[in-house]
């Protein structure tokens, strides 16, 4: 496979996953803002979302007042925000068009249909008047694209690059969802363990679409320790860091067998997976959840750069 094609497939899936992940971050901010909060009130929830999304600096440069409406518009439609949902779908479609013959008709129609709908004025109105409805729509478009991919594309190296992009972006997002909780708690550590704190932890689960799956494993024990374990170390949780890294190592190993060579990126992925596979929540909380998640985000950036270097991506 040409390196340019591999790069486009990798980033195509990353952008679709990122659009959905931005919607999940918005869902967290929306649900948390419904509860009474200390300090700056619901302004802290939206500041937390911007910080976890890595968009706080860009938002502040516009000198816009912080509110649900302005943050939502920045994360959904702002053309100057490279991670806005609209830009993510635009970039994904551009990648798909660049290697149109490497994807199936069903994948193209799912992606193209989502972008055409998103460009309509009615979608901007929906985001303003019914943010939860809009968030559900974005998540459904991501699911539609993944379903079209899983059911139609050949299981060759192209599929491996698509999967690498999906799980690398998903791991990054799960870490950021958990980090929103850190940013919310930061001003008022006295809130730890009270009703608002417990509600915020369950909001993390809801944003990750993991409430039912969590209940199957831990029943009604919605303690921070259990929720963090489910989203970080539990290999059966579809959005956990451990599950994502297991899939990343699997698809890198498939590429190593197909191309007949292993390189530094494979060892880096195995080392990261080993940390999660042998991780202990007591040690993670003792060391600091935010510090642990920050280290994970750095490892994901290093993995992305190593994949690009190994397979000769030009960079996007």
For the chain, what percent of residues have pLDDT higher than 90? Answer: 71
Cα(216)–Cα(89) distance, integer angstroms: 34
pLDDT given at position 240: 97
Q: Note whether 240 and 296 are same-domain residues.
A: yes
pLDDT given at position 187: 47
Q: Note whether 170 and 292 are same-domain residues.
A: yes
As a whole number, mean pLDDT of residues 279-307 equals: 93
Number of domains in the chain: 2
Quick: pLDDT tens for 227-268: 999 999 999 999 999 999 999 999 999 999 999 989 999 999
pTM of the model: 0.91
pLDDT given at position 41: 53
Q: Note whether 212 and 138 are same-domain residues.
A: no
CA dihedral 70, 74, 79, 80 (to 10 degrees): 100
Q: Note whether 109 and 136 are same-domain residues.
A: yes
Write a three-state SS string for the chain.
CCHHHHHHHHHHHHHHHHHHHHHHHHHHHHHHHCCCCCCCCHHHHHHHHHHHHCCHHHHHHCCCCCCHHHHHHHHHCCCCCCCCHHHHHHHHHHHHHHCHHHCCHHHHHHHHHHHHHHCCHHHHHHHHHCHHHHHHHHHHHHHHHHHHHHHHCCCCHHHHHHHHHHHHHHHHHHHHHHHHHHHHHCCCHHHCCCHHHHHHHHHHHHHCCCHHHHHHHHCCCCCHHHHHHHHHCCCCCCCCHHHHHHHHHHHHHHHHHHHCCCCHHHHHHHHHHHHHHCCCHHHHHHHCHHHHHHHHHHHHHHHHHHHHHHCCCCCC
Q: Note whether 38 and 10 are same-domain residues.
A: yes
Q: Note whether 65 and 146 are same-domain residues.
A: yes
pLDDT given at position 43: 59
Q: Note whether 224 and 146 are same-domain residues.
A: no
Q: Note whether 116 and 184 are same-domain residues.
A: no
Domain of residue 131 covers 1-153
Q: Note whether 147 and 14 are same-domain residues.
A: yes
Q: Note whether 147 and 292 are same-domain residues.
A: no
Q: Which of 112, 128, 153 is the last residue of a domain?
A: 153
Say whether pLDDT at 36 is over 80. no
Quick: pLDDT tens for 88-145: 999 999 999 999 999 999 999 999 999 999 999 899 999 999 999 999 999 999 999 9
Q: Which of 136, 153, 170 is the last residue of a domain?
A: 153
pLDDT given at position 159: 97
As given in the structure block, the two tokens for residue 250 are 């699997």
Q: Note whether 134 and 165 are same-domain residues.
A: no
Residue scoring higher pLDDT (63 or 272): 272
Q: Which of 103, 125, 153 is the last residue of a domain?
A: 153
Q: Note whether 149 and 160 are same-domain residues.
A: no
As a whole number, mean pLDDT of residues 208-220 equals: 92
């Amino acid at each position: 496979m040409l390196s340019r094609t591999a790069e486009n497939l990798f980033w195509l899936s990353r952008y679709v996953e990122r659009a959905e992940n931005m919607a999940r971050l918005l869902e967290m901010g929306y649900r948390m803002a419904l509860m009474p909060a200390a300090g700056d009130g619901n302004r802290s929830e939206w500041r937390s979302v911007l910080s976890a999304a890595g968009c706080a600096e860009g938002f502040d440069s516009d000198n816009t007042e912080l509110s649900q409406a302005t943050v939502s518009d920045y994360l959904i439609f702002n053309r100057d925000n490279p991670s806005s949902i609209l830009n993510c779908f635009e970039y994904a479609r551009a990648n798909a068009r660049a290697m149109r013959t490497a994807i199936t008709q069903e994948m193209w129609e799912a992606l193209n249909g989502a972008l055409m709908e998103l460009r309509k004025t009615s979608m901007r109105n929906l985001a303003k008047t019914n943010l939860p409805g809009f968030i559900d729509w974005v998540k459904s478009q991501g699911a539609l694209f993944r379903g079209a991919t899983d059911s139609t594309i050949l299981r060759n190296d192209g599929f491996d690059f698509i999967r690498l992009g999906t799980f690398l972006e998903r791991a990054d997002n799960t870490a950021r969802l958990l980090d929103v909780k850190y940013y919310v708690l930061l001003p008022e550590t006295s809130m730890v363990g009270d009703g608002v704190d417990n509600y915020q932890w369950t909001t993390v689960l809801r944003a990750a679409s993991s409430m039912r799956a969590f209940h199957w494993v831990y029943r009604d024990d919605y303690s921070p320790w259990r929720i963090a374990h489910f989203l970080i170390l539990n290999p059966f949780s579809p959005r956990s860091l451990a599950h994502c890294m297991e899939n990343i190592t699997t698809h890198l190993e498939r590429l190593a067998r197909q191309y007949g060579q292993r390189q530094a990126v494979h060892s880096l992925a195995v080392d990261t997976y080993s940390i999660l596979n042998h991780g202990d929540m007591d040690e993670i909380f003792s060391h600091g959840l935010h510090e642990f998640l920050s280290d994970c985000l750095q490892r994901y950036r290093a993995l992305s750069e190593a994949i690009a270097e190994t397979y000769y991506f030009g960079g996007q």
